């Protein structure tokens, strides 16, 4: 049985963690950690998300802390490094935080950046990784079809693994995939899955070759597994700058997938300057373990959000809880 809202608030710890580098325009990450009878869950929808979208994140946190555990098939998850739109001279420094990884996801199409800036970052990452490294780029829907096709042409020489959400809409993704059909450059859908009323629409439209799935916006591990199974496409499990509690939720999904063909975007604890545990889920030899994470009480206190932010998150939990089944 799901807890009532008073039980949720009694179990809630609101934290504010500094980032090691700016990401999504922020330098701090706020999250609510919920302790239930089966462990910990994380509720951390970005601040601009409305209550309807955020309710799924709360459902995922409740599942993690109060729900049944999904059986797992593996005990470690290979992960990629995630490179924000940092200046070229900082790339090696940021990637070093992830340790030895074979795959890097590079953010592109950011506001204020040019295609030339993106190409320069990709070129530098290819130089650092060498010919055997894997590179994928994530535009977060920032290009139209023509811009995405041009970018694919400009980046063709760097042997990309795939383009993640190059365009915003499913129709655009389908058109671009048709244009790139002979390029053998796969298209991955992220926002078209996690921010859609129908996460299977992109698969039915033949608009993507693989799915990027995240536990919180899909409402939990069980629902994410059903979506991947019904879509019939390979999946990459990713994160949203989570604490190690949230990353443990993602690792459990990745561990439960029947097939895991791609390195997952679950190494992002490396982008945090502080975490909620003394044993964070940082990549080691390109992988993270599948295990529970118990926050350290002293670290919860050290990184507690100020009272006004605690009140803000409590109000958000009340609103989102009212939207759960």
- Name the band, by pLDDT with cuts 50, 70 and 90, for residue 2: confident
Q: Residue 1 pLDDT more than 70?
A: no
Q: Give the model confidence (pLDDT) of 208-225 as tens digits.
A: 999 999 999 999 999 999
- Domain 5-69+297-321 in CATH: superfamily? Enolase-like, N-terminal domain (3.30.390.10)
Q: Does residue 286 contact residue 78 with C-beta atoms inside 8 Å?
A: yes
Q: Where are the domains of the chain?
A: 5-69+297-321, 76-289
Quickly count: other Cβ atoms within 10 Å of residue 169's Cβ: 15
Residue 20 near residue 272, CB atoms below 8 Å: yes
The answer to the question of whether 138 is labelled as a binding residue is yes
Query: Interior CA angle at 133 toward 131 and 136, to 5°?
Result: 115
Q: Give the per-residue pLDDT at 286.
A: 97
Instruction: Supply the pTM of this predicted model.
Output: 0.96
Taking CA 237 as the corner, what is the angle to CA 232 and CA 243, rounded to the nearest 5 degrees?
155
- Residue 272's contacts (CB-CB under 8 Å, 6 or more residues apart) are 17, 18, 19, 20, 29, 241, 243, 280
**Does 164 carry a binding-site annotation?**
yes
Catalytic residues: 107, 214
Give the per-residue pLDDT at 181. 86
Asked whether residue 50 is marked as a ligand-binding residue, the answer is: no
| pLDDT tops 70 at residue 288 | yes
Q: What's residue 26's pLDDT?
A: 85
Q: Residue 184: which pLDDT band, with cuts at 50, 70 and 90?
A: confident
Considering the four listed CATH numbers 3.40.50.2300, 3.20.20.120, 1.10.132.20, 2.40.440.10, the one that applies to the domain covering 76-289 is 3.20.20.120
Residues 9-19: tens digit of each pLDDT = 999 999 999 99
Q: What is the pLDDT of residue 22?
A: 84
């Amino acid at each position: 049985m799901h807890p009532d809202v008073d039980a949720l608030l009694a179990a809630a710890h609101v934290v504010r963690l500094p980032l090691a580098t700016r990401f999504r325009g922020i330098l701090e990450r706020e999250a609510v950690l919920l302790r239930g009878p089966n462990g910990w869950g994380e509720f951390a929808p970005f601040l601009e998300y409305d209550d309807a979208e955020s309710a799924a994140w709360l459902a995922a946190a409740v599942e993690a802390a109060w729900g049944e555990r999904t059986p797992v098939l593996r005990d470690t998850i290979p992960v990629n490094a995630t490179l924000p739109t940092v200046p070229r001279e900082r790339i090696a420094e940021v990637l070093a935080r992830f340790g030895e990884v074979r795959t890097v996801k590079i953010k592109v199409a950011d506001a204020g950046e040019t295609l030339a800036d993106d190409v320069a970052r990709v070129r530098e990452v290819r130089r650092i990784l060498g010919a055997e490294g894997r590179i994928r780029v994530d535009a977060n829907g920032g290009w139209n079809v023509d811009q995405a096709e041009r970018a694919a042409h400009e980046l063709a020489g760097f042997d990309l693994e795939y383009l993640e959400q190059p365009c915003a809409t499913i129709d655009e993704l389908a058109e671009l995939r048709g244009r790139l059909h002979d390029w053998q450059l796969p298209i991955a859908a992220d926002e078209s899955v996690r921010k859609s009323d129908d996460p299977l629409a992109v698969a039915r439209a033949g608009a993507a070759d693989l799915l990027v799935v995240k536990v919180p916006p899909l409402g939990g591990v069980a629902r994410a597994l059903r979506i991947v199974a019904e879509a019939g496409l390979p999946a990459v499990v990713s994160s949203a700058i989570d604490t190690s509690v949230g990353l443990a939720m993602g690792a459990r999904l990745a561990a439960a997938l029947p097939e895991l063909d791609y390195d997952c975007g679950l190494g992002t604890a490396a982008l945090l300057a502080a975490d909620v545990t003394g044993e964070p889920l940082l990549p080691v030899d390109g992988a993270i373990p599948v295990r529970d994470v118990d926050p350290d009480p002293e670290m919860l206190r050290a990184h507690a959000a100020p009272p006004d932010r605690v009140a803000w998150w409590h109000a958000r939990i009340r609103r989102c809880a009212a939207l759960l089944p």
